[in-house]
Amino acid sequence: MEDYFIAVVDDDLHIRNLVEAYLAKENFRTIGLSSAEEAWTLWRDNPPDLWVLDIMLPGMDGYELCRRIREEGDVPIVIISAKDGEVDKIMGLELGSDDYLVKPFSPRELVARVKRLLQRWYKPRRTERSEETASAQPVVGIGPLQLLPEERRAFWDKQEIDLTFKEFALLQVFAEHPNRAFAREELLVLVWGDDYFGSDRAVDHLIKRLRKKIEQLPVEAVWGHGYRLRTEGGGEAS
């Protein structure tokens, strides 16, 4: 697997250690957290690629943490819980989780579900594709940034970057309209859809993640408005 970073949030130390051990066998990087408050700090400072999240936590519960994460970002979430009622599962899924596993569970099954989600969420590299075939695709390119929309692949200075669906969608919007200033509300509609009901802070967080993955990406804030991808020589008007 790729070098994915997974956060395991559970106040039961035994379960945390067990899940982390099984994920480590598959070469995932992990961090174990005992509370939603710790997890929220991690989300702000160093967001993981996937969450394994318990519901029954001291202080803020897992449902609230799931809701907050989903309001701001686009990342897979697996809920693990002793609550096995249909209402509990529906609530978890409605709040934005991508899978729900009831305790006690098989650690091997959890790892299999994590792998499936990661493969679906983050585009795997295609090293076997010939250069001739790849060159026949439509390419959106600005300087060192190259996008292959048909395959949802992104390159910076010829290095492939692993992006989530929404990270790629946002980058494509910017790349197709260089130097145009987009309001946060516009970006929410273009990337999340016009039925999105969360905060426009989701845009800020997604851009923060893009800047972390592509440090030299020239996305700049437009004060009081939103963001644009700045390129030399001007381009589309704001």
Q: Locate the DSSP E strands across 26-149.
A: 29-33, 50-54, 77-81, 99-102, 140-142, 145-148
DSSP codes of every residue in 119-163: HHHSPPP-TTS-HHHHHTS--EEETTEEEETTTTEEEETTEEE--
CATH number, domain with residue 114: 3.40.50.2300
- 111 falls within a domain: yes
Boundary-marking domain end, from 102, 121, 140? 121
- 238 falls within a domain: no
Boundary-marking domain end, from 99, 121, 143? 121
pLDDT value at position 195?
A: 62
- 76/103 same-domain check: yes
CATH number, domain with residue 144: 1.10.10.10
- 135/111 same-domain check: no
- 58 falls within a domain: yes
Q: Is 146 exposed, middle or buried (0-12, 13-18, 19+ CB in 10 A)?
A: middle
pLDDT value at position 2?
A: 64
For 191-210, the pLDDT digits (tens) are: 877 766 566 777 888 888 88
- Assess contact for 81 and 99: CB atoms under 8 A: no
pLDDT value at position 8?
A: 98
pLDDT value at position 183?
A: 94
C-alpha to C-alpha distance for 123 and 118, rounded to whole angstroms: 8
- 207/175 same-domain check: yes
- 136/78 same-domain check: no
- 236 falls within a domain: no
Residues spanned by the domain of 41: 5-121
Boundary-marking domain end, from 89, 121, 153? 121
Residue 160 bridge partners (DSSP): 155
C-alpha to C-alpha distance for 158 and 96, rounded to whole angstroms: 34
- 93/111 same-domain check: yes
User: What sign does the CA torsion over 149, 150, 154, 157 have?
Assistant: negative
- 115/135 same-domain check: no
- Segments in the chain below pLDDT 70: 1-2, 123-137, 195-199, 233-238
- 29/114 same-domain check: yes
3-class DSSP state for residue 85? coil
pLDDT value at position 125?
A: 43
- 146 falls within a domain: yes
pLDDT value at position 237?
A: 47
pLDDT value at position 97?
A: 83
pLDDT value at position 86?
A: 77
- 15 falls within a domain: yes
* Domain count for the chain: 2
pLDDT value at position 137?
A: 59
Question: pTM value?
Answer: 0.64
C-alpha to C-alpha distance for 1 and 124, rounded to whole angstroms: 9
